[in-house]
Chain A
Amino acid sequence: MSLPMEKPQTIHDFGGFPKMLFEVEYPAPGSPELARESRDMIRKAEVGLDSKWGLDHGCWSVLKHLYLKADVPVVQMSLDYYQLPQYHYDLAKELASLRNKGVLIIGSGNMVHNLGMVNWEKIDEPGFGYDWAIEANEKMKKFILSDDHKSLIDYKLMGKAFNMAIPTPDHFLPLLYSLA
Chain B
Amino acid sequence: MEDFKKWIEKSYTVSGSIAIDKNTMKLNELNSLTKPLGNTDRMPVLFIGHGSPMNAIEENEFVTGWRNIGKSLPKPNANTLCFCSLGN
Contacts and interface: CB of A to CB of B under 8 A. Distances in A.
B38 to A, nearest CB: 5
Nearest to A61: B56
Interface residues of A, number: 73
Interface residues of B, number: 49
A39 B85 CA distance: 16
B34 interface: yes
B66 A65 contact: yes
Contacts of B46: 104-107, 178
A84 interface: no
A174 B47 contact: yes
B67 A65 contact: yes
B56 A21 contact: yes
Contacts of B43: 99-100, 102-105
B11 to A, nearest CB: 9
Nearest to A79: B85
A178 to B, nearest CB: 4
B14 interface: no
Interface in A11-36: 11, 13-14, 17-18, 20-21, 24, 28, 31, 33-34, 36
A60 B56 contact: yes
Interface stretch (A70-78, A127-135, A153-161): A70-78
A104 B70 contact: no
Contacts of B77: 102
A61 B82 contact: no
Contacts of B27: 41, 43, 94
Interface in B19-72: 22, 25-27, 30, 33-34, 37-38, 40, 42-51, 53-57, 63, 66-67, 69-70
Given A77-B82, A105-B43, 10 more contacts: A13-B87, A37-B8, A56-B86, A57-B86, A59-B82, A78-B86, A81-B88, A92-B83, A106-B45, A178-B45
23 contacts: A14-B53, A21-B54, A58-B50, A59-B82, A59-B84, A64-B56, A65-B67, A65-B70, A66-B67, A99-B44, A100-B37, A100-B43, A101-B37, A102-B78, A105-B45, A105-B80, A106-B82, A107-B46, A107-B47, A109-B48, A109-B49, A111-B49, A174-B47
Interface of B: 1, 4-5, 8, 22, 25-27, 30, 33-34, 37-38, 40, 42-51, 53-57, 63, 66-67, 69-70, 73, 75-88
